[in-house]
Chain A
Amino acid sequence: MTADGEKIEERQSPEKPCEIPPDWKANIIAFACHYCAFAAADLAGVMRLSYLPNSKVIRLPCTGKLDHIYVLRAFERGIDGVFVAG
C-alpha cells in the first residue's frame, strides 16, 4: 500500500454516524504501567488536579504486559475508548 493510500484510509472512520443517546457517557479504560503512568496518576491525585471522571484505570505491572486480547475484550464489552500510558 502506498503512503498516500494509507493516509486516505486513516481519515475515514468505519463507523456510521449516529444519534447520541441522552443517557450515554463516555466510558474509557486506561491501561497504566505501575511504575510510570500509574504513579503519575497518583501524583495527579496528590496534587488534587481535577480531570474528567470517564477514565477507569487498570494497573499493569508494565505496559509490556498489555495483550491484544485485553484491548479487544474491552471493546467487545462496549467500552468507547482505550488508552495505554506507560
Chain B
Amino acid sequence: MKRLKGLLRTIGINPERLQFYNLSAAMGPRWAEICNEFTEKIIALGPSPIWLARQKKKESLKHGE
C-alpha cells in the first residue's frame, strides 16, 4: 500500500487518489457513504494528469486528421 502510494508519487499522481476501506457485508449504507465521499474527494482533486495527457493526445490526433 505504502509502496503503491510511493510509486504514484514518483509518477506525478497524487497518492490521495488511492484509498483503502474496511467494510463488512452488512455495511450497505457505509458503502454508499464511501462512494459519495470518495467521489467528492476525486472531484475536488480534478482529473488525473494521465487522463489530461491522454485527452490532449486524442485532441492533437483529431486535429492531425
- B38–A81 touching, CB < 8 Å: yes
Report whether over half of chain B's contact residues are helix, strand or loop; otherwise say mixed.
helix
> Which of under 10, 10 to 19, 20 to 34, or 35 or more describes the interface residues of B?
35 or more
**A45 CB contacts on chain B under 8 angstroms:** 28
Query: Are B29 and A81 in contact, CB atoms less than 8 angstroms apart?
Result: no
Counting residue pairs across A and B whose Cβ atoms lie within 8 Å, the total is 151
Assess A51 versus B4: contact at CB under 8 Å? Given A37-B21, A78-B48, A83-B20. no
Q: Report the Cα distance A16→B4, complex, angstroms.
A: 20
| Cβ–Cβ < 8 Å partners of B30 in chain A | 40
Q: Which residues of A contact B (CB under 8 A)?
A: 10, 13-18, 20-21, 24, 26-28, 30, 32, 35-37, 39-47, 49-52, 54-55, 68, 71-72, 75-86
